[in-house]
Each structure stands twice: as C-alpha cells, then as structure tokens.
C-alpha cells in the first residue's frame, strides 16, 4: 500500500507541477460547461419569415401579428409577389414563406374555410420540421380565436366537442433546455478530461525516457497501474464536484436524487474510462498518437451518447453500439438521478453494464502492459 501511495504522490506532483494544469482541470471545465449549456439547444427561435399577403385584410394582418408575437418567428421580408419570396428562400435569406391568397377573409366568412401556403427551407430537417410545427400551432390558435367572430356573421356552426387541456410537465416544469443539457454535458466533460489525461500518461513516460527506470524497479505491475490511475480517478471526482456546484449556482439545476449515487456511478464509469485510456497509452508510442486515438473514440462516444439526440431515434444497429459507450450511460444516469430522483433500483442495469466494462477494459489494459525487470 505504501508503494501505491508513493506512486500516487509522484503522479499528483507531476500533474500539479505544471502551472497550466490546475486551471485546465478546474476553470476550463466550468467555462466549457457554461458555454456549452447556453449554446447547445434544440430550441428554434427567430425563424426568418417572408410574408406574401395578397388579401390585405384584417384577418390576414391578425394572422401575421400572431406569427410574429409567438416568439418563434421574425418578420424578415414583406414580399410583393411569390417569386420574390421564393428567391429569398432559395438564397437562405429567409427560412419560411407564408403566402396568404386573395379572398382569404371572404372565404373564411362565407365558406368557413380558407387556404394558406407555407414554404419551409428544409435543408436542415430538424429546424424545418420544428418551424412547420410552430407555424401550424399558431395557425390553429388563430383559427380558434376567429371562431368567435365568424359565428355571429354566418349563423350557428355545427356543434363540436370542446376539450380544455391542462399541461403538467414533470421533472422540468419550465421546459428549460439548460436543465436537460447541463447534467449530460457535465458527465461528458468529466469523461473527456479523464480519458485524455490517462491516454497520455504512460506514453509521456516513454517519451521522456523514465519508463525504463520504473520498469527496472521492484514495483509490481498492479502497484504501478493503480498508482498511475487512481490520481486521475480523484481528479475526475473533483471535477464532477466542481461541475455540480457550478450547475446549481449558475443554472439552478434540480438535484432531486442522491448525490452519493451519482458519485458512486461516476467511480464505476471512470474505472472504465481509465481502462480505455491506459489501453491506449500502452499501445501508443507518442503523445500525439495517444491524443489522436483518444479523440477518435471520444467523437464516437459523444455523438452516440444521447447527449444531443435520443438514442431511441437511432437505427437499431447503432443503439447496440451505445452499450459499451461509457458517456451514454453516464449521461442517462446523471439525468435520471438529478432530474427524476431515480434510485439504485432504477439504474442497476447501467451499473451492471459499467461493472462488466470496467473489468473487461482494466483486464485488457493490464494484459497489454509489459513490465520488464
């Protein structure tokens, strides 16, 4: 045990001897958490709108007012004709064209129905779909609002059932997207930092030539590996604690569940990450190689983690690739425990998967490391 503690002390001194390392491990993750939490949002606002109004009636003006007052649309252009608006759509000057035909108000009053045309720039499928859905919702509200004006003019309309819907949003009552993103981003940042530091650890000893000195010492393999990995486990837990404090103070993230459960899962998760990083470090010859290999895996882990897009929306074959993804499990557990108050029974499957991965990658890392005496 004393040997392991001495190696841990040596590693921590080596890490913090670098004056730039302490800000990189403390300040930079908090800055990244703040920036990414504000920037990473699936909410679509300020959709550039072009309007072609052939009717110039009170109802067409009312519809336009409701579109701009919704908060989703910004009137970018009031086009004189269809061709002008379509050119603006094709040149990406606007995102949507709303064309109101001549006789719009007359048809509503006489025939109880009227046509509208919506042209949506769908080069970004997600943005186009949301823009169309927002517009449909505004038009539906407009339709319900004018019924009170139309009925006295055209007589009694056929009786239609009326439903009053009251919404209750569980776990995120204000629908604040930052509440959803901050726990996932925090888990991702902790994983990235630990994996990169671990991947560059042993290979740095190779580059500066001290690995041979360590190899000829009577230090056993398990002592060497534990002494190398445990400091980065402590660093990861420390970064998680800083991130949770920042998330609470800056974003007021709810912490409904047990923080002890979060840290317990973080330990298991980081053991997996440490095993992957050590495996990369023992196989790479230079820090540059280790960085590129680690970044290759990190990009796959992040994009297939469910951080930005639901895993359930991925193809079935892609969902299977998320099983050995430590970030995917960490993101899900962070959101479940902090926002929903999930207990161990709710996340025991994630614990089981990460335990198997921890044993697998740690064993592979120990087998690939060769210590000569």
Among residues 262, 247, 274, the alpha carbon closest in space to that of 336 is found at 262
Instruction: Answer yes or no: are the C-beta atoms of 102 and 53 closer than 8 Å.
Output: no
Per-domain residue ranges of the chain: 2-40+184-368, 47-154
- Tokens 């993230």: give the residue: 253
- Tens of pLDDT, residue by residue over 321-356, are 899 999 999 999 999 999 999 999 999 999 999 999
- Percent share of the chain, pLDDT over 70: 90
Distances (CA, A) of 187 to 223, 270, 276: 28, 10, 17
- Tokens 């909410």: give the residue: 43
Taking the C-alpha atoms of residue 312 and residue 209, their distance in angstroms, rounded to an integer, is 48
- Tens of pLDDT, residue by residue over 24-57, are 777 888 898 998 888 777 777 889 999 999 999 9
Q: For residue 117, give the 3-state DSSP assignment.
A: strand
Q: For residue 51, give the 3-state DSSP assignment.
A: strand
Q: For residue 46, give the 3-state DSSP assignment.
A: coil
78 bridge partner residues: 51
pLDDT band at 151 (very low <50, low <70, confident <90, very high): low
Fold annotation for 47-154? abc type-2 transporter like fold (3.40.1710)
In the chain, DSSP assigns E strands to 47-53, 73-79, 96-100, 117-120
- Tens of pLDDT, residue by residue over 121-141, are 888 877 888 888 889 889 888
Q: Given strand 73-79, what is the order of strands in its sheet?
A: 73-79, 47-53, 96-100, 117-120
pLDDT band at 215 (very low <50, low <70, confident <90, very high): low
Average pLDDT for 3-27: 78
Taking the C-alpha atoms of residue 360 and residue 303, their distance in angstroms, rounded to an integer, is 23
């Amino acid at each position: 045990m004393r040997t392991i503690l001495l190696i841990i002390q040596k590693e921590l001194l080596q890490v913090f001897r670098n004056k730039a390392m302490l800000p990189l491990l403390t300040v930079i993750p908090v800055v990244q958490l703040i920036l990414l939490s504000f920037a990473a949002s699936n909410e679509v606002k300020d959709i550039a709108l072009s309007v072609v109004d052939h009717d110039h009636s009170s109802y067409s003006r009312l519809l336009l007012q409701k579109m701009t007052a919704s908060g989703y649309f910004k009137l970018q252009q009031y086009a004189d004709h269809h061709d002008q608006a379509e050119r603006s759509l094709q040149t990406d000057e606007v995102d949507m064209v709303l064309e109101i035909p001549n006789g719009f108000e007359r048809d509503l009053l006489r025939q109880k129905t009227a046509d509208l045309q919506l042209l949506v720039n769908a080069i970004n499928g997600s943005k186009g779909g949301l823009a169309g859905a927002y517009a449909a919702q505004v038009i539906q509200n407009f339709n319900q609002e004018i019924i009170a004006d139309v009925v006295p003019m055209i007589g009694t309309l056929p009786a239609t059932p009326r439903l009053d819907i009251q919404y209750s949003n569980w776990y995120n009552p204000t629908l604040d997207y930052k509440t959803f993103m901050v726990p996932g981003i925090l888990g991702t940042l902790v994983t990235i930092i630990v994996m990169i530091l671990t991947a560059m650890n042993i290979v740095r000893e190779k580059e500066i030539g001290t690995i041979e000195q360590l190899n000829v010492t009577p230090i056993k393999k398990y002592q060497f590996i534990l002494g190398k990995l445990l400091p980065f486990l402590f660093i990861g837990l420390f970064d998680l604690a800083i991130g949770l404090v920042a998330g609470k103070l800056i974003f007021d993230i709810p912490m409904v569940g047990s923080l002890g459960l979060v840290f317990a899962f973080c330990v298991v998760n980081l053991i997996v990450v440490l095993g992957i990083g050590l495996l990369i470090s023992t196989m790479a010859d230079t820090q540059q190689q280790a960085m590129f290999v680690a970044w290759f895996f990190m990009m796959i882990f992040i994009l297939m983690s469910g951080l930005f897009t639901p895993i359930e929306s991925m193809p079935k074959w892609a969902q299977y690739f998320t099983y050995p993804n430590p970030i995917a499990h960490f993101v899900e557990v962070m959101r479940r425990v902090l926002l929903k108050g999930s207990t161990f029974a709710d996340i025991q499957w994630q614990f089981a998967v990460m335990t198997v991965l921890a044993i697998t990658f740690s064993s592979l890392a120990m087998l690939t490391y060769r210590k000569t005496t």
